Amino acid sequence: MNPGYNPQNQGYGSNANPGSSPGSSPGSKPYGAGALNSVANASPEVRANFIRSTYLLFVSGILCSLLVGALTLSSYAITMAALSAISSPLLAILLIVGGSMAAQAIARTPGLNLVGLYGFTGLIGFLFAPVLRIYEMQQPGIVGQAAFLSVLVFGSLSAYALVSKTNFSFLGGMIFVGMIAIIGAGIANLLIFHSAGIGYWLAWATLFMSSGFVLWRTSRMVHEYAPNENVAAALGLFISFFNIFLSILRILGGNRR
């Protein structure tokens, strides 16, 4: 497989509609906004428990992705199946975006929401483990560098949104439009232009937009979500982290891919 095909060039994971109710967009009134039972109106203890449980679920989603990725690489047949899926642009888009939308659709359904969270994060581990191995073989250390920088970027932005308590809801509409444009340009590049240079700059654009999504999503956690919506919040954070990681990996890979 040629790792020149990288879904990270676009904002995969349905980043444009994270954790929203069906049919909504970041610019519209979100689910639970202004509700009396939102985290913003809860006691400090409830808010602290919500934030703690959300990030624990977020980390557990990453661990699930890593575990499934390791299992994928342990079997030649499973690895080849993953490579076959991720090498087909249309199939990859269907699996990733479709999986993300399905997980978000049940993100507020008790019991099923955990199935959606770990099902989607596991799917990401299955699809991208072979791609990461190829990157690591061709440029040793690049995956670790991308992971470190991703944690740094994501952690800094999310911590700022939490500590400052700024409401970043105003970013929703702008980021939504920007991400749709990036997805469209990325698909056109995959199917028509096949340009490594375009893919490289799209990775920068995706990193910028995904960083905005971290601020927006973290802000929604503390201003709009209900205390029992931690799974939906964790799923949104995972999608943002996933896009940041893939964008940084693409950037570090440069124009050679």
Q: Which amino acid is at 47?
A: R
Q: Supply the DSSP symbol for 20.
A: P
* Residue recorded with tokens 């699930």: 64
Q: Tell me the pLDDT tens digit for each residue of 43-61.
A: 889 989 999 999 999 999 9
Q: Tell me the pLDDT tens digit for each residue of 246-255.
A: 999 999 998 5
- Picking from 94, 102, 105, 96, the residue whose alpha carbon sits closest to that of residue 24 is 105
Per-residue HEC secondary structure of 111-153 comes to CHHHHHHHHHHHHHHHHHHHHHHHHHHHCCCHHHHHHHHHHHH
* 169 CB burial (10 A radius; 0-12, 13-18, 19+): middle
The arithmetic mean of pLDDT across residues 172-177, rounded, is 90
The arithmetic mean of pLDDT across residues 6-10, rounded, is 44
The span from the CA of 159 to the CA of 156, in Å, is: 5
Domain boundaries, given as residue ranges, for the chain: 35-256
Q: Which of 11-20, 31-40, 90-99, 163-172 has the lowest mean pLDDT?
A: 11-20
pLDDT of 5 over the 60 cut: no
What confidence score (pLDDT) does residue 81 get? Answer: 96
Phi and psi at residue 189, to the nearest 5°: -70, -40
The arithmetic mean of pLDDT across residues 166-192, rounded, is 89
Residues in the chain: 257
- Picking from 252, 209, 239, the residue whose alpha carbon sits closest to that of residue 12 is 239
Q: Tell me the pLDDT tens digit for each residue of 144-156.
A: 999 999 999 999 9
The model's pTM is 0.83
> How far, CA to CA in Å, does 182 sit from each of 171, 176, 187, 205, 252?
16, 10, 9, 7, 19
When the pLDDT of each residue in the chain is averaged and rounded to a whole number, the result is 86
